[in-house]
Copies of this chain bind each other. A is one copy, B any other.
Amino acid sequence: MMKQRGILVVVSGFSGVGKGTIMKRLTEKYDNYALSVSATTRDPRAGETDGKDYFFHTAEEFQRMIACDELVEYACYCGNYYGTPRKYVEDQMERGRDVILEIEIQGALKIKAKYPDALLLFVMPPDGETLKKRLSGRNTETPEVIEARLKRASAEADGIESYDYILVNDDLEKCVDELHSLIACQHWQVKRNLDFISRVRGQIKEF
């Protein structure tokens, strides 16, 4: 079979549900994934590396990228821009690697509109109580921070129906293997195999 184009995978989910940990484990365990690095205008935090955690840009640079259509999606949160650089995404897909974007629902919907074959996944906790415990942390945060996190989770609960599949993060290893399996399966979609189908059909028609 011919090398297939990579799949664009959008992973969203509640803050605190463990998306970062899932992505880290997925790329440790399987080597066919490319994690997209977002561009942002916010200041780097302690320990963040340019090009690894984010591509840090000035607002002027970011606006130029928007104007030159160099971002597949972007949004503004709390006065800072965040976006997904197009070149990396398209290069990796062309090379047959599945590209994972960890973004929020507004970005996910923009991606789906631009790339209808993108796979949209939403990570769920097994139940609300589990998420609440994770968000409340180890009592190291102030009640105000915890309160803000819980409010945010509540807002994030809207729009799950726009996604293709859910993933339940109960057991990390199980969740990572299911994520891998879900993405692998999509490579068998008829629409991703039209060249192969057409070739075999041609051979059979000549019988």
B128–A207 CB distance below 8 A: yes
Q: Given A125-B200, A127-B200, are A205 and B157 also a contact pair (CB < 8 Å)?
A: yes
Q: Given A185-B165, A207-B150, are A124 and B157 also a contact pair (CB < 8 Å)?
A: no
- The stretch that binds B, out of A36-44, A107-115, A189-197, is A189-197
The residue on B at minimum CB distance from A157 is B201
Number of A interface residues in the complex (CB < 8 A) = 45
Q: Is A94 an interface residue (CB 8 A)?
A: no
CA distance A193 to B73 in the complex (A): 28
Q: Mark interface residues in A153-184 (1 if CB within 8 Å of B CB, else 0).
A: 11001001101111110000000001001101
CA distance A118 to B48 in the complex (A): 46
B-chain residues with CB within 8 Å of residue A189 when the two chains form the complex: 164-165
CA distance A183 to B127 in the complex (A): 24
A190–B206 CB distance below 8 A: no
A116-161, CB < 8 A from B = 122, 124-129, 131-132, 150-151, 153-154, 157, 160-161
Q: Is A14 an interface residue (CB 8 A)?
A: yes
B-chain residues with CB within 8 Å of residue A160 when the two chains form the complex: 190, 197, 201
The residue on B at minimum CB distance from A181 is B181
B-chain residues with CB within 8 Å of residue A168 when the two chains form the complex: 1
A81-127, CB < 8 A from B = 122, 124-127
Q: Is A203 an interface residue (CB 8 A)?
A: yes
**A154 contact from B157, B181, B190, B205, Cβ within 8 A:** B205
Q: Is A204 an interface residue (CB 8 A)?
A: yes
Instruction: Rank and list the top 7 A-B pairs by shortest CB-CB distance, nearest first.
Output: A128-B203, A150-B207, A157-B201, A165-B188, A185-B185, A128-B204, A157-B204
